[in-house]
Amino acid sequence: MGELEGKKHVQYIVSVEKKKDSFEALVIEHLRLNGAYWGLTTLDLLNEIEAVKPDEIVQWIMQCQDIGSGGFGGNVGHDPHLLYTLSAVQVLALLNRLDVLDIDKVSDFLRMIVQLYLLVHLSLYLDVAGLQNEDGSFSGDMWGEVDTRFSYIAICCLSLLGQLSKINVESTVNYIVSCKNLDGGFGSIPGGESHAGQIFCCVGTLAITGSLHHVDRDLLGWWLCERQCKDGGLNGRPEKLADVCYSWWVLSSLVMIDRVHWIDKEKLTRFILNCQDKENGGISDRPDNAVDVYHTYFGVAGLSLLEYPGIKSIDPAYALPVDVVNRIFFSK
């Protein structure tokens, strides 16, 4: 299986950051702020954050902020969205530059979104009480989508900014609990199929809000361990192929519920290492496929949760290196 090619992965990330007109850079143009989070967190986990110039990055991130709403878009001039606002907060936290943020403005953006989501959730409950469509479906929100991903993002962001008191945490937790399934997992909306990605979001929300007592740890632990395939990799739901990114979504959830010792760590480590491009760096979704920054990050983050030597520890709920999280919460 070989070793982790840490130095090559660093070179790969730096090269993607520099080549703004490469194919990969163009593919992630609209979500470049997510890409910055994946790439920079990888560098930090590999103890190489000095490979980039923080001032340039901070300047660019602030150009992605929508002045009116306070939220961030995926790139300069793009519409603001929760997905990119979390990445902005995470990268600034990583670079120890949260001071550049107008915290009230960003958290007001999140609060506004969360309040609208809560309204939508309320209408979902009304739907349950009688407004359900004839075919059994429910109407979406004014953006057309309600998803437990957004509950996680809002809670994670507001917690990092010390602004959880701005929202109704109890109703956020209640909504997450309403998305719990009989198999112990969670979906994107009430009744939605259990999926490892959504489970990370729901368990992460419960962990950050101190509400993990709502999880049936053994039942969920069993469902998550069933995600390990014959090749040692993890999939996101039954009958799907293993993919390196689930080394994060599944493993972080198992760590949060204290059941990570239930999987075969050695086989998973081998699977991730077999997905490396040993010549040019980077990690792919499955062995012999093309590498990208997303899978490179989740591969390295998964190895961190597996306590692979030489990689910094990552916090399973905040998805940031543990020393960064400690700096935020314990050095005030």
Residue ranges binding ligand GRG (CB under 6 A):
83, 86, 149, 152-153, 195, 197-198, 200-201, 236-237, 240-241, 243, 245, 249, 319
Q: How far is CA 198 from CA 39, 237, 252, 307, 332, in A?
A: 22, 11, 12, 24, 32
Q: What is the nearest approach in angstroms of ligand GRG to the Cβ of residue 37?
A: 7
- Listed in sequence order, the residues at least 6 apart from 332 whose beta carbon sits closer than 8 Å to its beta carbon are none
Q: Name which of 111 and 195 has its Cβ closer to ligand GRG.
A: 195
Cα–Cα distance measured from residue 253 to residue 320, given in angstroms and rounded to the nearest whole number: 14
User: Closer CB to ligand GRG, residue 161 or residue 245?
Assistant: 245
Task: Give 223 or 249: the residue with its C-beta nearer to ligand GRG.
Answer: 249
Q: Min. distance of Cβ 86 from ligand GRG in angstroms? A: 6
Task: Report the nearest approach of ligand GRG to the CB of residue 130 (Å).
Answer: 30
Pick 12 or 152: Cβ nearer ligand GRG? 152
Q: Tell me the closest approach of the beta carbon of residue 31 to ligand GRG, in angstroms.
A: 10
Centre a 10 Å sphere on the Cβ of residue 135 and count the other Cβ atoms it contains.
5
DSSP letter for 130, please: I
298/308 with CB nearer ligand GRG: 298
- Cβ distance to ligand GRG smaller for residue 8 or 312: 312
64, 188, 253 from 197: Cα distances, Å: 26, 9, 9
Torsion, Cα 12 17 21 24, to 10 degrees, reads 50
Task: Provide, rounded to whole angstroms, the least separation between the CB of residue 2 and ligand GRG.
Answer: 25
Least CB distance to ligand GRG at residue 153 (A): 5
Q: What is the DSSP string of 15-84?
A: HHHH-TTSHHHHHTGGGHHHHHHHHHHHHHHTT-GGGS-HHHHHHHHHHTB-TTT--B-SSTTPPP-HHH
In the bound complex, which residue of the shown chain has the CB atom lying closest to ligand GRG? 197
Smaller CB separation from ligand GRG, 46 or 89: 89
- Closest distance between ligand GRG and the C-beta of residue 188, in Å? 7
Asked if 155 and 166 touch (Cβ cutoff 8 Å), the reply is no
CA 307 to chain centre: 19
User: Residue 331 class from Cβ within 10 Å (0-12 exposed, 13-18 middle, 19+ buried)?
Assistant: exposed
